[in-house]
């Protein structure tokens, strides 16, 4: 099987030819940018994956409904207010945002999506939002991706962007994206937004299948604090401007496209976990030799999400018992007496029991800004990777005063 060459490039959403973006300060937050607009004049194939929380924000419900047609021109996004739990007014405001953007851009409003993030249960300040949308439309540019990525941040400390190029059937295809997320992060979607663009030619059905598969391997394998929010969305737009032969499921071209999409989403997912509220360490948990993929995922997510182990990482305590305990309650099938555990390259447990490992070396590994834990179940051939972060005093401080 030939190697798929995925080349990282600079930028994010607007690294993809034909896509425009902007990010401005509309006044929802005190000083920082808080409103973004993403757009392509071409009507794009579109798909999305959304939160599993039963409580869903109005803009999310509106976008879910509009994506049933599988087409969109773009997305208007605000930070500072989630527009969640606002009753019928919330839906009216979400529709008004889409309509305002559509009028400014001269497109049908049903092809504009809406996304929001911020405080729940507060009415949208439409007197700020609507003029902001008009300004954002005027400032759209092919260089606006970074400003848009900054405008969707809440407690994030870093912007999250990534883009790649690859060859599909002799044509150069670009995939780029941006995300936000720092707290309320957990599998099955979390308080995160991600927006991905590609110039590949791919129909909406194939795009949705690809996105679902990649999200399961990336965004659904991160956790910061075990909470899942009301606005979480991943949306992808495909313009077809690369003019490749349309990608279909089950073909070599589909596998190449998956590799590029996975590269973008993996980096964005890692950035979200690394930027976890108050975090000092990115925690990567690799579970290998599991009997099924489902078992591998269950075990990896449980370890990455264990508050006890996350605290141990912060304290640089190689408490491997907390790792094995998390695998034990994960629901994964395995024999506890066969499990080997490694912290970095230091083996700390063998066949479910302890070793006389080098405590100083293990503590040194845990003191770095990226720690990999490997759990070998020795039960099969499946592997999965989850990402999380340590749990610190700063996390409590941030979330103790989130609204103020």
List residues with catalytic annotation: 191
Q: Residues near 68 by Cβ (< 8 Å), separated by ≥ 6?
A: none
Helical segments of 247-292, H only:
252-274
Q: Which residue from 196, 384, 165, 171 is spatially nearest to 260, judged by alpha carbons?
A: 165
Q: Residues near 110 by Cβ (< 8 Å), separated by ≥ 6?
A: 66, 69
Positive or negative: CA dihedral 64, 259, 190, 82? negative
The bridge status of strand 282-290 relative to strand 340-343 is unpaired
Residue 49 phi/psi, 5-degree rounding, is -130, 135
Paired tokens of 94: 């979400």
C-beta neighbour count of 378 within 10 angstroms: 14
Q: Residues near 70 by Cβ (< 8 Å), separated by ≥ 6?
A: 45, 46, 47, 203, 204, 205, 207, 208
R_g (Cα) of the chain, nearest Å: 21
Distance CA 322, CA 155 (A): 29
Q: Which residue from 100, 117, 114 is spatially nearest to 67, judged by alpha carbons?
A: 114
The conformation of residue 57, written as its DSSP 8-state character, comes to: -
Per the rule left: phi > 0, alpha: psi between -120 and 50, beta: everything else, 233 is beta
Distance CA 184, CA 287 (A): 24
Distance CA 272, CA 158 (A): 9
Residue 151 phi/psi, 5-degree rounding, is -75, -15
| b/e code 58-71 from CB counts within 10 Å (16+ = b) | bbbbbbbebbeeeb
Q: Which residues pair with 117 in a beta bridge?
A: 81
Paired tokens of 373: 């834990």
């Amino acid at each position: 099987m030939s190697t798929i060459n995925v080349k990282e490039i600079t930028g994010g959403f607007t690294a993809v030819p034909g896509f425009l973006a902007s990010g401005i300060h509309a006044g929802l937050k005190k000083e920082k940018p808080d409103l973004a607009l993403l757009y392509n004049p071409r009507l794009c194939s579109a798909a999305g994956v959304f939160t599993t929380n039963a409580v869903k924000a109005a803009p999310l419900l509106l976008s879910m409904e509009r994506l049933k047609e599988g087409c969109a021109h773009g997305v208007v996004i605000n930070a500072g207010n989630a527009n969640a739990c606002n009753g019928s007014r919330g839906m009216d405001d979400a529709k008004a945002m889409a309509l305002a953007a559509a009028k400014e851009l001269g497109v049908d409003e049903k092809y504009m999506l809406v996304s929001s993030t911020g405080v729940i249960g507060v009415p949208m300040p439409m007197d700020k939002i609507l003029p902001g949308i008009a300004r954002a439309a005027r400032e759209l540019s092919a260089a606006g991706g970074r400003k848009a990525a900054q405008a969707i941040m809440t407690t994030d400390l870093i912007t999250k962007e990534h883009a790649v190029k690859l060859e599909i059937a002799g044509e150069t295809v670009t995939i780029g994206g941006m995300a936000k997320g720092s707290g309320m992060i957990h599998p099955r979607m979390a308080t995160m937004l991600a927006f991905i663009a590609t110039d590949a030619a791919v129909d909406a059905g194939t795009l949705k299948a690809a996105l679902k598969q990649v999200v399961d391997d990336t965004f659904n394998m991160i956790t910061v604090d075990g909470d899942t929010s009301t606005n979480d969305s991943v949306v992808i737009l495909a313009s077809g401007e690369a003019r490749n032969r349309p990608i279909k499921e089950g073909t070599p071209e589909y596998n190449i496209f998956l590799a590029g999409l996975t590269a973008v989403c993996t980096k964005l997912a890692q950035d979200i976990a690394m930027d976890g509220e108050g975090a000092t360490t990115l925690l990567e948990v690799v579970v290998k030799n599991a009997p099924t993929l489902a078992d591998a995922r269950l075990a990896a997510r449980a370890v990455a999400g264990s508050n006890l182990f996350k605290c141990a990482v912060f304290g640089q305590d190689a408490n491997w018992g907390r790792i094995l305990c998390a695998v034990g309650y994960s629901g994964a099938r395995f024999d506890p007496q066969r499990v080997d555990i490694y912290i970095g390259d230091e083996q700390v447990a063998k066949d479910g029991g302890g070793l006389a490992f080098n405590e100083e070396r293990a503590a040194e590994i845990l003191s770095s800004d990226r720690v990999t834990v490997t759990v070998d179940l020795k039960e099969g051939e499946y592997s999965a990777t989850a990402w999380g972060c340590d749990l610190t005093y700063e996390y409590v401080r941030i979330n103790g005063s989130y609204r103020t």
